[in-house]
Amino acid sequence: MQSTTEENVMVLDEDSAIETELNDGSEILDEASPLSKGQMHLAMLAAVALPPLGLLAAMYFLWGGLFSSLNLVMMIVLYIATGLGITIGYHRMFTHKAFAAPKPIGIFFMILGGMAAQGPLVWWVATHRKHHHHSDQEHDPHSPHASRKPGVVGWIVGFAHSHIGWLFSSTGDSNYRYVPDLLADATIMRINNLFPVWVGLGLLIPAVIGGLVTMTWTGAALGFLWGGLVRMFLLHHATWSINSVCHVWGWRDYRSGDESRNNPVMGILSFGEGWHNNHHAFPSSARHGLKWWQLDVSWIIIRSLQIVGLASKVRLPTKERMDARRRIAV
């Protein structure tokens, strides 16, 4: 992997310093995660399997006429809120330190990210930093290309691994050497260890609203399904598509040393994260949609927070740096 950007150098230096300190991250794994490795895989199975079951149940009730616009509104609002928790909080703020914010703002986005049920913050950040360190190479936790077998079957298996299979493979293990900054922060660890509470909150809020608005148990159940499980299902696949789709389909504006792509559909569905080639070229940029027409809702919000004084140290690549990394031909 090339490491000519300031951003990469920062991450790589951090990694190698910690790797010399630790032979094995497993000791820290127990400390960082409220769950054992076996429980973690079981929790992942639940996180992967329950939302599609919820979707099936929601379709069944919809077929029977049990649906209201309130369910749709709750699904969309919570998709946006928890999605921004992942993109602004988990990803840009905590993984890449693309900007700084007052503590309550950080906690707010951490909790929203937790409600997305994509894993505790520390695990998510560790996995993602490892992805950048080894992008599309052997130790990448979720590359569709690394160690891929030849032929169509190899391609399908590689794609499935990058999208969902990696959650159950050993490539995601022992990553906690990547997150000394988070492990050292007591507030972050407290919120991190309450991850199951945040997942529960993300299911409870739409259920309570649905129940109170309609004053029926059916309303509560439909709120739970649409605002909870269906919303989780859609956001899970949007996020996982950044790992799979955005390393396969799209174009590359910049030399990033990997197969990351800019994909406009995912740019919209994942609030700017689909400009993934831009992101791999400039990992700690708070802005991923680098051209004016590359819609990046997460960036618009970070910039707005900056304007009202709630975000600082916002990092952006300079024009010189962007010109130096630009690919002449795609």
Smallest distance, Zn ion to C-beta of residue 26, A: 24
Q: What's the rounded Cα separation, in Å, for the pair 282 and 314?
A: 13
Q: What's the rounded Cα separation, in Å, for the pair 96 and 196?
A: 24
Smallest distance, Zn ion to C-beta of residue 126, A: 12
- Tell me the C-alpha to C-alpha distance, in Å, between residue 259 and each of 85, 254, 274: 26, 11, 13
Q: Please, which residue, 127 or 260, has the CB nearer to Zn ion? A: 260
Smallest distance, Zn ion to C-beta of residue 277, A: 9
List interacting residues with Zn ion (CB under 5 A): 260
Q: Please, which residue, 118 or 260, has the CB nearer to Zn ion? A: 260
Q: Please, what's the b/e burial string for 285-300 (b: 16 or more CB within 10 A of its CB; e: otherwise)? A: bbbbbbeeebbbbbbe
Q: Evaluate whether 249 touches 261 at the Cβ level (below 8 Å).
A: yes
Smallest distance, Zn ion to C-beta of residue 263, A: 11
The residue of the chain with the least Cβ separation from Zn ion equals 260
DSSP 28-42: HHHHH-SS-HHHHHH
Q: Please, which residue, 71 or 87, has the CB nearer to Zn ion? A: 87
Q: Please, which residue, 260 or 270, has the CB nearer to Zn ion? A: 260
For residue 229, give the nearest of 79, 68, 42 by alpha carbon: 79
Q: Please, which residue, 134 or 231, has the CB nearer to Zn ion? A: 134
Q: Please, which residue, 37 or 139, has the CB nearer to Zn ion? A: 139
For residue 206, give the nearest of 238, 233, 237, 229 by alpha carbon: 229
The CB density around residue 29, as the number of other CB atoms within 10 Å, is: 21
Smallest distance, Zn ion to C-beta of residue 247, A: 6
Smallest distance, Zn ion to C-beta of residue 252, A: 12
